[in-house]
Structure 1
Amino acid sequence: MNTLVPGGRPADPAPGGGIRLLVAFILVGAAVSVALGVYGGLHLPTRRALATLGFPSLVSMKVTLASAAAVLGVVQIVTALRMYGRIGHGPAPRAVATTHRISGVTAVLVSVPVAFHCLWSLGFGTYSARVLAHSLFGCAFYGVFVTKMLVLRSRRVPAWAVPLLGGALFTVIVVVWLTSAMWFLIGGPGY
């Protein structure tokens, strides 16, 4: 049976071709992640802020915006669960889907100055396990995001890929936040 999932996508696209397309999209996302990591590793870090967007320091800007992105990630998960009928009763109101889209776009937009300054000012860090994890997951965030956006635009990719990538995106942003903003807020050593 070919049922519809949120957004009117068929739950069961034609076999074979959809999986190959999903793999292609994952490879594109992986290329984005690797390109960011290579840039961060090759670029000589400036150790200064280009702009702090009105915040008193680079660190305060990064911690605040990363925390906002993490909170918006929670909004993404809650609204996705509602759209997929995992919480609440009956079909989700249109406002839920609208909130999901707006919070997703906003999360990515507020993450851009943080990521830019991470790569441009600090580079791809490897001097501790925490910093390495932060660097890897920070680069992975944009790769997973690109993959999810490509999947959302395709009706041939299996519908299960959307919530899977959404969950992966949420997991990545949580790890990025835990290894940076939360670490700073709790006064972790070496920040």
Structure 2
Amino acid sequence: MATEIRTSAVDAGALVAVAAGACVAVALGVFGKVHDPQFFSVNLAGFSSGTSVKAWTATIALALAVIQFGTAFAMYGLLGGRAPAWMSTAHRWCGRLAVLASVPVAVHCLYALGFQATDTRVLFHSLFGCLFYGAFVTKMLLLTRRGLPSWVLPIFGGLVFFGLVFVWLTSSLWFFQTSGISF
């Protein structure tokens, strides 16, 4: 009986985390859709445009996420052998810095451009941006839960990574291909 109660509490907590992440994803999409795009948001000295800032900060976020992905593989023993003790700290900090680097990207997307569906690339970019932050919120909430099956965090970590990769592919890669690799 105690096992059933404990399992249902873990399941309920996990469902709350998933629901919160889904609410964040939908809220971002709704805000982006109803907000009138301002066509300008973030710019830094040395960059030619806000879109250039967005492309480069997204690239920094992706590079940090790739490192985090590699450290996750090492921590789960998928690269052979045991991971060094510092690996979990590196994993956490790369994740924190990746999300921090993604914030100006999200601000630019939501405030300057909004949620759009002008073509397939833009629609998928908008959807993957919402997925990224929804999966991120879910993962962060799941980190506080004890007793989860061992596959849960890697699945949501993978969704966060997948979302960021496809946000980058549908925006930064496109920008670099059309505008060149410049600041």
Q: Name the TM-score, length of structure 1 as normaliser.
A: 0.86
| One-letter amino acid of the counterpart of residue 36, structure 1 | L
Q: Name the TM-score, length of structure 2 as normaliser.
A: 0.90
1:111 aligns with 2:96: no
Give the aligned partner of residue 40 of structure 1. Answer: 32
Give the aligned partner of residue 20 of structure 1. Answer: 12
Alpha-carbon distance in structure 2 between the residues aligned to 1:95 and 1:177: 28
Give the aligned partner of residue 101 of structure 1. Answer: 92
| One-letter amino acid of the counterpart of residue 31, structure 1 | C
Where do residues 166-185 of structure 1 align in structure 2 (5 Å cutoff)?
A: 166-185=157-176
CA shift digits 1:26-68 (9 cap, x unpaired): 110000010111100000011112x313333101100100111
Give the aligned partner of residue 121 of structure 2. Answer: 130
Q: The residue matched to 2:37 in structure 1 has which SS?
A: coil
CA shift digits 1:136-174 (9 cap, x unpaired): 110111111010001111113323211111111111111
CA shift digits 1:57-80 (9 cap, x unpaired): 101100100111111111111000
Alpha-carbon distance in structure 2 between the residues aligned to 1:173 and 1:149: 16
| One-letter amino acid of the counterpart of residue 153, structure 2 | V
Alpha-carbon distance in structure 1 between the residues aligned to 2:168 and 2:25: 17
| One-letter amino acid of the counterpart of residue 53, structure 2 | M
Return the structure number with greater helix share. Answer: 2
| Cα contact 2:117–2:123 (8 A) shared by 1 | yes
Please identify runs of 4+ aligned residues in structure 1 that moved more than 6 A: none
Alpha-carbon distance in structure 1 between the residues aligned to 2:89 and 2:103: 22
Give the aligned partner of residue 140 of structure 1. Answer: 131
| One-letter amino acid of the counterpart of residue 74, structure 1 | V
Q: CA deviation at 1:96?
A: 0.9
Give the aligned partner of residue 44 of structure 2. Answer: 53
Q: Which moved more, 1:144-153 or 1:14-23?
A: 14-23
| One-letter amino acid of the counterpart of residue 111, structure 1 | S
Alpha-carbon distance in structure 1 between the residues aligned to 2:21 and 2:148: 15
| Cα contact 2:14–2:145 (8 A) shared by 1 | no
1:73 aligns with 2:61: no
Q: Structure 2: which 5+ residue stretches go unaligned?
A: 1-5
Give the aligned partner of residue 4 of structure 1. Answer: none
- Percent identity among equivalent residues? 47
Alpha-carbon distance in structure 2 between the residues aligned to 1:160 and 1:15: 16
| One-letter amino acid of the counterpart of residue 100, structure 2 | L
Q: Structure 1: which 5+ residue stretches go unaligned?
A: 1-13
